[in-house]
Chains A and B, each alone.
Chain A
Amino acid sequence: MGIKVENLSYSYSGNRKGKPALENVSLEIAKGEFVVISGAAGAGKSTLIKHFNGILHPENGRVTVDGLETRTREVRRKVGMLFQHSQNQLFEETVYRELAFGPSNFGIRGEELDKRVHEALSLVHLDAGILDRSPFSLSGGEKRRVALAGILALRPTYLVLDEPTAGLDPESRAKLLGRLQNIHQKRVGIVVVSHNLEEVLPFAQKVISMDEGRIVFTGSPDEYLRAGYSPVPPLARLMKELNKKGADLREDIFTAEEALKELQKLRQEKPERDREKSEKGAAETEAQDNA
């Protein structure tokens, strides 16, 4: 079960002579897994995820979701997909109708629909007071959350997000990632396409790295860092640089807390030298002051 991609190839029509957008891609995403797909612009990430819910159909190869072909309508509900600039997809008169759009397309009505709308709203931490407002009157960040809630109202088994944090301020980023983690804890599989690995790697169980339409790496975040692929998150890079200078630190570091712990280890290892240094430094400043 899960999302299964076998030997998928795809090229955009009209560009048949050029390079295919995807070449012989195979991967598996298990139920409830948190996966990060990384790669430079034009690596084929967006083309790949459009195959997960049947927006695009494979030219060669096969894509199945829980054993279902992606041409089946049920797949659209199972795989919730949030594209880039999701704030642009809003169109209804009220937020309520916006959230109801998805489930009602699958024939959900009445009380059940109402329940879904409120459930989705609370998942993105929005107040029920917003339901009667026009989506166009909201701020950019709120629009994004409404768009995400619109997908969550489908109760997807897998949630696929294309660059979800692009254009958000640092605080909103952190909050969004926290929400994704909460959703993940509810046994929803999450696939995030991002080139900002630093922020998503701490949550990921699996990293898939793409380059020019091929998968070049699949594995855990630790393995990703150990294999020496780029881009490397800044904290891991710092550890690497310190190691080059003679330190002995772990390089699979994703969060500031972990990094702090490692750096404190450094201090305990060489307390004397540090003290010497700081004393020397203090002496120098004193000398300068005197002069």
Chain B
Amino acid sequence: MPETAFNYVYGDSLLHRLDPRTKLAAVMCLSILVFREESFAGMGLLIAFFLLLTWISGVRLSFLLRSVRPLLFFIFFIFCFQLFATKGTPIIPLPVLPPSYEGLRLGTLLALRFGLLLLYAALLTASTLPSQITNGIERLLRPLPLRRLGVTSFDLATMMSLSIRFLPSFLENAATIRAAQLSRGLDLRHDLRRGTTAIAVPLIRRSILSAEEVTEAMESRCYQGQCRTSLHELRMQKLDWTALLGLGVFSLFFLLL
């Protein structure tokens, strides 16, 4: 398997040692800041803060940037849309859809916004094991009255970790089915619609069947989602409270500025 986006990078940095709840809270908080920010100076500050955190984590910047790549086209599309569709002073006077300075500003801000959002998320996944993220989310959701809706935070956590666990086998299945259909002469370049059915139908079918198998295997081992214990109970350390305090101060300072 090639190295893909949003992978965990083994390490023992300050960021790796933080409680996943702290990091989840930080990402949420920083995302709000990123979305509220309207000025380039503020964006610069958020970028600088990201670079600082990256430096602390010891994760290579190029690795994190890889997570943005799959969505680069989407971001570019948004940028162009803003550039050409915003009314204002035209950069080049064109009869239809002239690019405007206001559009350029808005587009750049939006592109930076999406980029930063992805990068902060990539930093979270790079410094936190998927199982830890799941644990963190479970603990954060536990006080919510989800039981009234028929699910528990434990159920949600199990679902999440199972989805993560099955991603590799899903990709493997997809590759096998693709190879099988190519062997039957499927030409993806000439008949995309038919190719999509030929691959999607067996793949979805197979996935549902294996989900059923896993359900049966779990039920035969008496799975219940009412209350589950964990091998590694999460505990907030002094480091976490310090980090949260630091983040609070940073956000407050940022909003007042």
Contacts and interface: CB of A to CB of B under 8 A. Distances in A.
Contacts of A101: 184-186, 198
B131 to A, nearest CB: 23
Interface in B166-220: 173, 176-177, 179-187, 197-198, 201-202, 205-206
Interface string A1-39: 000000000000110000000000000000000000000
Nearest to B184: A102
A151 B176 contact: no
Interface residues of A, number: 29
A139 interface: no
A88 interface: yes
Contacts of A86: 180
Contacts of A150: 184
A72 to B, nearest CB: 12
A14 B1 contact: yes
B179 A50 contact: yes
B12 interface: no
Main secondary structure of the interface of B (DSSP, over half): helix
Contacts of A85: 176
B198 A83 contact: no
Given A55-B182, A83-B180, A150-B184, A91 B2 contact: no
Contacts of A73: 185, 187
A97 B219 CA distance: 38
Interface string A150-165: 1100100000000000
A76 interface: yes
A278 interface: no
Given A14-B2, A90-B202, A55 B179 contact: yes
B3 interface: yes
Contact of B177 (A79, A88, A102): A88
Nearest to A53: B183
A80 B176 contact: no
A52 to B, nearest CB: 10
Interface string A65-101: 0000000010011011111111011110000000001
Contacts of B186: 101, 105
A13 B3 CA distance: 10
Contacts of A229: none
A105 B189 CA distance: 12
Interface of A: 13-14, 50, 53, 55, 73, 76-77, 79-86, 88-91, 101-103, 105-106, 136, 150-151, 154
